[in-house]
């Protein structure tokens, strides 16, 4: 059965999962070319990423491919360390790749992709704080990572809400930990503003970049993408219903981690629709919790032909988007 094979830890399965983004990337690498540098807007670090992408298309595309694979690996390792999906599985890598490469035109290096890598590290820090006795400084690190991510892709700063939700769910109330989170959020901006001052760069450029990040960005989808993401939405509802039935039987830590993922997913959806400047880059963020949600479903579901079809449709729709 298809699901039984892909739900194993065989070397061949890992190779197939890694080949998916590589094969998907090949047309973009072949078509990649250096273009004249245009006027670049956005946050300071994001401008550097965009400039690098425009001047070195092929190299930037290769780096983006490596980041996609790295992010998938980090998702696997996060579950290996904290075991909120009951078995070791490669499926988080598979679903992250499926979701994050599914939009044609995103096979290049973007501030949102770089920012999303930092956001995965936020999960490492907050989950590691769950069983810490006494005061944990992990939330200082998490705040730092979120602020740094927002210097690449400003909508990322809105995920600070998820850090506060994690504090409520994972820790007893310790006011110092809440203070650490806010200090972590402010420190990178303090350093950036200080750097602007020392380099005699108008600080208003930073605030202009923030404003530019909310400028409307087209979110045009073709027919294959609309159908594919409609299926993703449908399966999100199916997997969520399955999760609500299973959540009472989950271990306490796993239940709380998935509630954090739920908060993260809800924020990503709200930002995508409410913040016009978020663009399709928010897909990299939504792919993180959805990768775990879908993986949990396929790890725990019955091995039957219906679930084989559910699983196979992800591959079929991905291929259709590439050739459609």
Label residue 284 by pLDDT band (50, 70, 90).
Answer: very high
pTM: 0.91
Backbone angles phi, psi at 56, to 5 degrees: -135, 70
pLDDT tens per residue across span 104-122: 556 788 899 999 999 999 9
Tell me the per-residue pLDDT of 190-220, one tens digit each, with 9 for 90 and over: 999 888 888 878 888 788 878 777 777 666 6
Confidence (pLDDT) at 93: 93
- CA–CA distance, 98 with 251 (Å, rounded to integer): 28
pLDDT at residue 37, rounded to an integer:
38
Measured in whole angstroms, the distance separating CA 247 from the mean position of its chain's CA atoms is 23
Secondary structure (DSSP) of 128-176: HTTT--S---HHHHHHHHHHHHHHHSGGGGGGHHHHHHHHHHHS---HH
Looking at residue 86, its pLDDT comes to 85
- Domain ranges in the chain are 2-323
With a cut of 80, say whether residue 278 has pLDDT above it.
no
Residue closest to 313 by CA, chosen among 241, 234, 250: 234
Report the residue count for the chain: 324
Q: DSSP labels for 172-230?
A: ---HHHHHHHHHHHHHHHHHHHHHHHHTT--THHHHHHHHHTTS-------HHHHHHHH
Residue 155: which of 190, 189, 116, 192 has the closest Cα? Answer: 116
> What is the secondary structure of 284-307 as a DSSP string?
HHHHHHHHHHHHHHHHHS--SHHH
What average pLDDT is seen over the chain? Answer: 86
3-state secondary structure of 124: helix
Convert the pLDDT of each residue in 62-73 to its tens digit.
Answer: 899 999 999 999
Q: What residues contact 310, with CB distance under 8 A and at least 6 apart?
A: 235, 238, 298
For residue 255, the 8-state DSSP code is H
**Ranges 90-94, 129-133, 277-281, 295-299: which has the least confidence:** 277-281
Please answer whether residues 243 and 86 qualify as being in contact, where contact means their C-beta atoms are separated by less than 8 angstroms.
no
The confidence score (pLDDT) of residue 176 equals 93
Q: Are 177 and 139 in contact (CB under 8 A)?
A: yes
């Amino acid at each position: 059965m298809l699901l039984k094979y892909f739900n194993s830890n065989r070397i061949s399965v890992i190779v197939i999962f890694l080949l998916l983004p590589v094969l998907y990337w090949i047309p973009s690498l072949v078509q990649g070319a250096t273009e004249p540098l245009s006027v670049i807007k956005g946050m300071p670090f994001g401008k550097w990423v965009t400039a690098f992408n425009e001047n070195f298309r092929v190299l930037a595309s290769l780096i983006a491919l490596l980041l996609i694979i790295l992010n998938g690996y980090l998702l696997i390792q996060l579950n290996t360390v904290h075991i909120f999906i009951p078995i070791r599985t490669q499926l988080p890598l598979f679903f992250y790749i499926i979701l994050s490469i599914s939009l044609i035109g995103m096979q290049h290096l973007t501030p949102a992709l770089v920012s999303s890598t930092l956001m995965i590290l936020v999960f490492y820090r907050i989950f590691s704080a769950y069983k810490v006795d006494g005061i944990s400084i992990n939330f200082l690190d998490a705040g730092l990572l979120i602020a740094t991510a927002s210097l690449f892709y400003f909508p990322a700063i809105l995920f600070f809400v998820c850090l506060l939700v994690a504090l409520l769910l994972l820790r007893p109330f310790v006011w110092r930990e809440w203070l650490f989170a806010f200090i972590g959020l402010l420190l990178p901006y303090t350093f950036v503003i200080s750097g602007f001052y020392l380099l005699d760069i108008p600080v208003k450029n930073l605030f202009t970049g923030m404003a530019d990040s909310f400028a409307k960005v087209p979110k045009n989808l073709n027919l294959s993408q609309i159908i594919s993401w409609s299926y993703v939405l449908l399966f999100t509802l199916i997997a969520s219903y399955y999760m609500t039935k299973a959540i009472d039987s989950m271990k306490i830590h796993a239940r709380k981690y998935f509630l954090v993922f739920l908060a993260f997913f809800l924020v990503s959806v709200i930002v995508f629709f409410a913040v016009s400047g978020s663009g399709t880059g928010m897909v990299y963020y939504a792919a993180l919790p959805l990768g775990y949600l879908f993986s949990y479903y396929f790890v725990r579901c019955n091995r039957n032909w219906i679930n084989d079809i559910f699983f196979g449709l992800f591959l079929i729709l991905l291929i259709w988007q590439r050739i459609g």
